[in-house]
Structure 1
């Protein structure tokens, strides 16, 4: 069986439906009108089973639409409720969910009903997360709320005397430890809202922060305007700048599968992916191919969904890589090996093979971070073919040099303690 890894070169085409598979992210059809309506939230519990929340059309009215799939978006069961707006929703499982729009709508059968067990008349809370099946936290304009009965009743728990603005993100670690972020404040409670910490943010006064994701009490990210991403490994005592190359749009949402694998989507439709905890980012989808992206979720290291304006839903099953080719029929050696590209010279495509060796017992064999990078004769990086965790195997990558000038180029494999470089020639 063969798997392939293709280079992330994209053709800029105005219609998203025409670029399926060109960047590792495929268009998923939904019941949402792709001309007028938007999708705000996506929640998947497995690679195939999940929900979206967006806008639906009911005559002349824009209403709230929910869609449910059990086949990865091939087909949808959808319903329309109330009136549409940019609400958020969080699901604990396939049945229990809460919609946050100031009036918290709760369901226990999978579909949002029109019952309103609580109305936040003070801060119009529009962001919330389940910490458990019973404990839920939400935030609004200078308000923070908590429920301990799955959203039936709520109480205000925000710190007294502290104005923090509108809450944009909530990240529970457990039922007691929860982080909240506003544009300029990061708040933490370790006892369910009795006491609070005002955690210092990175000293960048021009950035308004929009989202956060904490995996543990110590390890978490915050994101914001100008493609800003900061990482902390000590609960906010210090911050590491993990920003991709700066461009003037904002990261709307961010998700992390573990400390290695994370993805961010921007207001200009770009998708960035990292496999090394933010040390390097691959811009898998450049800005302005798709419209504004509003939410993203990583389900596994390979499967993720992103949603946005004009009915946009994108899905990857390869971690954003277009294709990978692995030859399992050939014995895998016990050493790294980078082979000469073929054909060489080439115009404009060539193939590069490399081997990632066996490491210990196959049941405990770790994933290895592998990079395959192309450089010009001056040592400038011109393309990244691979930047991903790979299991041992024999791999083949196709490099398309369309748009590059004739001349000598170098390709370098970095994996584990290995670093190998070879030369190739592009002839027009």
Structure 2
């Protein structure tokens, strides 16, 4: 039997479909496409200077509020998991490393620049099998990074040395951390968790040296927005129960959990003005928007169904969002007519990165079929292969019509290592760059 929440999601999808293509598309304008790579995170230090990170080590920079963008040489080929700039010159980024050649390093590269990204240097972090998801600096000296196994690290000397923070052991603390943000030099939050297990908040009041943990729901959280010393909002969710949020009005002493009733996962959140907040839903190609300080929220579509993974507002008049296939959107407070620029042809199918990754022993694999509503659907095959190319698990082998699909892969009987997921549709393999669709997944036991 479907839960009340699941019925509400279905009703909201049907109702909001009539509304979602209006408000947001009048304000968000799609920019010229510079790459077909997915763009997953964005940071601005002021209204002029911004950087975007994404798949295959891509970093894109603007110094004139997006009038011009330049692709920088990051020096890495792994995806940019997180990027943060302290000022218009000094910045940091994280990228995962999967090296199958001796000494077979699996872990994280830390990137840094002191000249706005014109030159990037990087090094392998000392802890192997540690995959860091986020990096954040409160000022030029004090920074934080975190990721798998609930580990949080801090630096007080601009990243020359990193020390591991102490985590309250009263609760399970091995869930991955997805995002960190501070209100002042002492007080900050981190969020994360694991699907169907727990949404987690970590809180510090001594500059990140010690953190207390709290379970605030059953689904992971992906982003934080801190309003002031008392109030904050965090967003997340899953595809079964939809987008969720937690809020506090007393500095994290208590958290209020709420499910929106909309299908999807909250990927990022930011506020244009105190009353108007935006949440991006990633592969669901929509925003959730409030214009009354969170009293109510509405679903709004993105231009041309663009999938948005991160967004930021630099002031009340300017905002930016980035997403699938190199999408960059610019927000204008003035209502405009939308003109699509350099729109790429839609793929037959899209295969998304599994979550969690690394995983043990189970992970979820999501893919989208964009055609096949005629002739009984497209032929779809989803399989997992080992590093030698042997098929070890056939997850899907059927005809499917257009839509979003999620399957679980359990590797309890497999050894730790790198595996590959391949999606076959029709007569060709397709991925985000219109070639062989393959995703690398990592099993760590």
Q: Shared fold (TM-score greater than 0.5)?
A: yes
- Alignment partner for residue 280 of structure 1, among 296, 307, 318? 296
Write the distance in 2 (CA, Å) between the matches of 1:227 and 1:290. Answer: 18
Q: Find the counterpart in structure 2 of residue 79 from structure 1.
A: 72
- Deviation string 1:233-291 (CA, Å, 9 cap, x unpaired) is 112333345654x22210111123564332110021212232322112243325x9434
Q: Find the counterpart in structure 1 of residue 111 from structure 2.
A: 105
> Contact 1:98–1:151 (CA<8 Å) still a contact in 2?
no
Cα RMSD (Å)? 2.9
- Displacement of 1:52: 1.4
Q: Find the counterpart in structure 1 of residue 60 from structure 2.
A: 67
Write the distance in 1 (CA, Å) between the matches of 2:201 and 2:290. Answer: 24
Q: Does 1:149 align with 2:165?
A: no
Write the distance in 2 (CA, Å) between the matches of 1:11 and 1:219. Answer: 28
- Deviation string 1:37-80 (CA, Å, 9 cap, x unpaired) is 1111112233343221234xxxxxxx422222233323222223
- Deviation string 1:112-157 (CA, Å, 9 cap, x unpaired) is 5233274443532221211111100111112100011112211111
Q: Find the counterpart in structure 1 of residue 192 from structure 2.
A: 182
The higher relative CO (CA closer than 8 Å, separation ≥ 6) is in: 1
**Structure 2 residue matching 1:88: 3-state secondary structure:** strand
Q: Does 1:227 align with 2:240?
A: no
Number of corresponding residues: 294
Which sections of structure 1, spanning at least 5 residues, go unmatched? Answer: 1-7, 13-18, 56-62, 324-428
Q: Does 1:172 align with 2:148?
A: no
Write the distance in 2 (CA, Å) between the matches of 1:129 and 1:11. Answer: 33
Write the distance in 2 (CA, Å) between the matches of 1:291 and 1:106. Answer: 30
> Contact 2:166–2:210 (CA<8 Å) still a contact in 1?
no
Which sections of structure 2, spanning at least 5 residues, go unmatched? Answer: 1-16, 96-107, 194-198, 338-445
Q: Find the counterpart in structure 1 of residue 87 from structure 2.
A: 93
Q: Find the counterpart in structure 2 of residue 378 from structure 1.
A: none
Q: Does 1:197 align with 2:212?
A: yes
Write the distance in 2 (CA, Å) between the matches of 1:154 and 1:209. Answer: 25
- Displacement of 1:187: 1.1
Equivalent positions of 1:27-426 (< 5 A) are: 27-33=30-36, 37-55=37-55, 63-81=56-74, 82-101=76-95, 102-111=108-117, 113-116=120-123, 118-121=125-128, 123-141=130-148, 142-159=150-167, 161=169, 162-183=172-193, 184-201=199-216, 204-205=217-218, 207-225=219-237, 226-240=242-256, 244=260, 246-257=261-272, 259-267=274-282, 268-285=284-301, 289-318=304-333, 321-322=335-336
- Displacement of 1:297: 0.3
- Deviation string 1:208-254 (CA, Å, 9 cap, x unpaired) is 2222222333210111112212221112333345654x222101111
Write the distance in 2 (CA, Å) between the matches of 1:104 and 1:158. Answer: 21
Q: Which is worse superposed, 76-85 or 263-272?
A: 76-85
Write the distance in 2 (CA, Å) between the matches of 1:309 and 1:284. Answer: 17
- Displacement of 1:311: 0.6
**Structure 1 residue matching 2:71: 3-state secondary structure:** strand
TM-score by length of 2: 0.60
> Contact 1:118–1:153 (CA<8 Å) still a contact in 2?
no
- Deviation string 1:80-106 (CA, Å, 9 cap, x unpaired) is 332031511111111111112322111
In the superposition, relative to structure 1, how do residues 257 and 221 fare at CA in structure 2: closer, same or farther (>3 Å)?
same
Q: Find the counterpart in structure 1 of residue 428 from structure 2.
A: none
Write the distance in 2 (CA, Å) between the matches of 1:213 and 1:239. Answer: 14
Q: Quick check: which has more Rg, 1 or 2?
A: 1
> Contact 2:24–2:300 (CA<8 Å) still a contact in 1?
no
Write the distance in 1 (CA, Å) between the matches of 2:243 and 2:259. Answer: 6
> Contact 2:278–2:290 (CA<8 Å) still a contact in 1?
yes
More helix by share: 2
In the superposition, relative to structure 1, how do residues 272 and 21 fare at CA in structure 2: closer, same or farther (>3 Å)?
closer
Q: Find the counterpart in structure 1 of residue 421 from structure 2.
A: none
- Displacement of 1:30: 4.1
Write the distance in 1 (CA, Å) between the matches of 2:45 and 2:190. Answer: 24
Write the distance in 1 (CA, Å) between the matches of 2:228 and 2:91. Answer: 23
Write the distance in 2 (CA, Å) between the matches of 1:130 and 1:104. Answer: 14
> Contact 1:23–1:285 (CA<8 Å) still a contact in 2?
no
In the superposition, relative to structure 1, how do residues 43 and 30 fare at CA in structure 2: closer, same or farther (>3 Å)?
farther
**Structure 2 residue matching 1:126: 3-state secondary structure:** strand
Write the distance in 1 (CA, Å) between the matches of 2:286 and 2:146. Answer: 27
Write the distance in 2 (CA, Å) between the matches of 1:135 and 1:84. Answer: 26
**Structure 2 residue matching 1:305: 3-state secondary structure:** strand
Write the distance in 1 (CA, Å) between the matches of 2:25 and 2:153. Answer: 44
- Displacement of 1:25: 0.6
